[in-house]
Amino acid sequence: DSKDLIGIEVLGEKIEDVAAFHKDSFPYNEDNTLPASMEKMGIKGLRFHKYDSTLCTYCSPLIGKLLTIIAMSYKGKPFDEVEFLTGKRLRPTLNMKKSILVGQCMCALNKNHDGPQEIVKIEGCPPRPEEAALALKSIGIDIDPSFFTNLEMEGAFFMKRFKDNPEFDESYYTIP
């Protein structure tokens, strides 16, 4: 069994004394249609349904990036009734104007959907970065598709928060 510690010397405190349960979930609003942090920001007209156990490893990294881009791009203007669907169970909500299907499984599940809303597909397994950028553009967020594949760009995206911040000391982050 891979959990056995036979032959391994454990140093320091007893594992039982310091072990803690960590939820593998981010807080969402009451109806699980938007992360709590995005609701707190005042984001309206957008549903990014909470992921479930059917969200796979290939879609998962894209979901985090999409949520980050949406949150960091939000300027106070409500979205026009848009929802993002992930995993292998969700169906487009009839009262939404646009449903964005993320990943091959979601696109296949809803291939025969004939509801009134516009369907935008981010196809592929893993989902294609170019299609993710086009989906965001369709809701008013213009992002370079290479953001999804270029790790250096991702870091630069987050660095804006430190610019002109007197509490940030760059000397802590230098490479000798």
Give burial (CB, 10 Å; 0-12/13-18/19+) of 41.
middle
Q: Which stretches does DSSP call E strand in the chain?
A: 46-48, 82-85, 98-102, 118-122
State the pLDDT confidence band at 164, using cuts at 50, 70 and 90.
confident
- From residue 145, alpha-carbon distances to 28, 70, 132, 139, 152 in Å are 27, 14, 7, 15, 13
Terminal Cα distance for the chain, rounded:
42
Q: What is the mean pLDDT of residues 77-88?
A: 96
Q: What is the pLDDT of residue 124?
A: 95
Q: What is the pLDDT of residue 151?
A: 61
Running DSSP on this structure, what letter comes out for residue 172? G
State the pLDDT confidence band at 87, using cuts at 50, 70 and 90.
very high
pLDDT digits (tens, 9 = 90+) for 30-78: 999 999 999 999 999 999 999 999 999 999 989 988 998 899 889 999 9
Provide the token pair at 176. 């000798």
pLDDT digits (tens, 9 = 90+) for 106-162: 999 999 999 899 999 999 999 998 899 999 999 999 887 777 777 666 666 667 778
At residue 11, does pLDDT exceed 90? no
| Helix runs in 74-173, H state only | 104-109, 129-137, 151-159
At residue 7, does pLDDT exceed 70? yes
- Pick from 135, 133, 132: which is nearest to 124 by CA? 132
Q: What is the mean pLDDT of residues 95-111?
A: 97
Q: What is the mean pLDDT of residues 168-175?
A: 81
